[in-house]
Structure formats: structure tokens, C-alpha cells
Amino acid sequence: MTEDPLERIEREERERKEKKGPRTVMTALAAVAAILALVLGYMLYQRSVLVKDLESEKAELAQQMVDLQNDFSTLNSDYEAINHQLDTSREQVAMLIEKLSKTEATNRAKIRQYEKELGTLRTIMKGYIVQIDSLNTLNKKLTADAAAARREAAESRRVSEELTQQVEDLSSKVNAGKILRSRAISLVGHYSNDKAGDRHSRVRYMVANLTLVENSLADQGPVRIYVRVKDPEGILLMNNESTEFTVNGVAMQATASREVDYTGNEVDVSIYINDTGEFVKGVYTLEVYTEKSLLGRAECMLR
């Protein structure tokens, strides 16, 4: 039976449309897949660039820590107390380098924390440099003064006995001085059971300890000792016992204070720091003053 031409044309057109539909869908799906592949490739590339940048920042921070460690290794002093503080700071830098090496570069919170701790250690080192320079300058001046006094004694034979006595008095004042001095300054954390410890989560209060050294030339009688304790952020700890005092005309805030009766003999002093809030991990700094001078500094590391 012969197929009608019109029916044949309609049939061929219908078959052509049926074949074209799947090809169009396949073409569209292929285009979508290509676009998705491009987007995924771009995202992976961006992540690779970001990780590379973070690794670079971590490496730069590590180098800064090593540089600071080298700076500390070259810093020396003729004073035992400062050398002890330097040893403590060197240990802190070494610990910081070790912690950074164990931290992933993508851990931004930790990296920022280490940057802040590095800044604190830099500030501490600058303080050491200023303190050492000041003490060296003072020693040079005192040495020069003593030498000048000895030259005057040699040149003034008429009053040699009197001037010799003055030189001996000056040498004695250089060695002892009239300013009240201290040693063995420390800052120690204590738990609720009064046991000393350095875990920040368990520390409930701190104790500043020092010893006023024997000095017969120093003024005797009641003397108030002031302590300033700063947290790892450099913020002064305060409580209801905090007070204001003046050192050489400069007003300052004290975390706590205590009055002792100084008789010229050695005396141990402990000052408690209570009710200042929760303690955090990091380095706490202590400064000890009288109304005449700074007695010294110390640090306490809470883990």
C-alpha cells in the first residue's frame, strides 16, 4: 500500500523532532557541566592561593620569632636579677616558636594570638635594653664621680685627710646608697587550697614576694610598698584595695600595697593580689615601688 505523501512528510517531521529533543538536552547538560567544572576549578585555585598566602604569613612570623630569639641571645647584663629575667624570656620565646611550628597556617585565631605574644615579648626586650643601658650609664657616672673625687684628693694635699674621708664616704654611698633596695622579687599564682601553681584556670590569687635588703644608710621607719601587676594584655589588675600613689611627683595606680616597719635590717615582704577577676594564660608582669623609687620587676607565666 502506497503511503500518502502528506502523511509521509508529517511522519518524517515528527521523527526529526523526536531525534532533535535528546540532542538539545545533552548539549545543555554538557554546557552546564563545563560551567560547573570551571567554577570548581576557580574555587580550588582561590583556595590554593589563600593557603599559600597563609603559609607565607606563618613563615614570616616564624622568622620574626627566630630574630627575636637571636636578639635575646645577644643581650647580656652584669646584674643577676636581670639575667634571671632574661633567661625566663628566652624560654618563653622558645616555647612560642615550638607552639607555632605545631599550628596549621589556616588556624587564624592561634596565629593572631602568637603575633600578640610576640609583640609582648618585643616590648619586654625593649624594657630590658632601657634598664640595662640606664644601669650602665649610672655606673659610669658613679665611677667617674669617684675618680674625680680621688683626683681632687691627690691634688689637695693641704686637706688630704678630710678629702680622703670624703672619698671613702662617696665610695660607701656608691656601694650601698641611701635608696631602699630589694632582691628576690617574684610573682606567684596560688590555687584555692593556697598551693602555688601556674595553671591559669585554677589560679585564684597571686602573691608578690620580695626582700628589703639590709642598709644602714637608708631611712628607717614605716615604709609603704606598692605593687603594680599587669595581665598579658598590659592591663593593670585592680580591686577594692587598689590605691593611687606618687613616685617622684608622678601619680600612679597600684594594684595593692602594704606598710612595713624598716629598721635597716633585711625583711621579707609578701603582698596578696585578690579579687581581680579570672586569670588568663600568658605572662603577668610585676613592678614594685616605694614613694621614692622603683624597687624592681618580675614576671609570672601562667599556662
Nearest C-alpha neighbor of 211 from the set 182, 239, 232, 240: 182
- Mean pLDDT for the chain? 82
pLDDT tens for each residue of 80-107? 878 888 888 888 888 888 888 888 877 7
Note the pLDDT of residue 205. Answer: 95
pLDDT tens for each residue of 22-63? 666 666 676 767 677 665 655 555 555 555 767 888 888 888
Give the pLDDT band (50/70/90) at residue 297: very high
Judged by average pLDDT, the poorest of 110-114, 186-190, 249-253, 267-271 is 110-114
- Backbone angle region of 271, left / alpha / beta, with phi > 0 → left and psi within -120 to 50 → alpha: beta
Inter-axis angle of helices 160-175 and 108-155, nearest 10: 170
Judged by average pLDDT, the poorest of 58-72, 90-104, 150-164, 258-272 is 150-164
- Backbone angle region of 246, left / alpha / beta, with phi > 0 → left and psi within -120 to 50 → alpha: beta
What residue ranges do the domains of the chain occupy? 180-302
pLDDT tens for each residue of 205-239? 999 999 999 988 888 899 999 999 999 999 999 98
CATH topology of domain 180-302: Immunoglobulin-like (2.60.40)
Record the pTM: 0.44
How many whole angstroms separate alpha carbon 52 and alpha carbon 63? 17
Note the pLDDT of residue 56. Answer: 80
The 3-state DSSP class for residue 204 equals coil
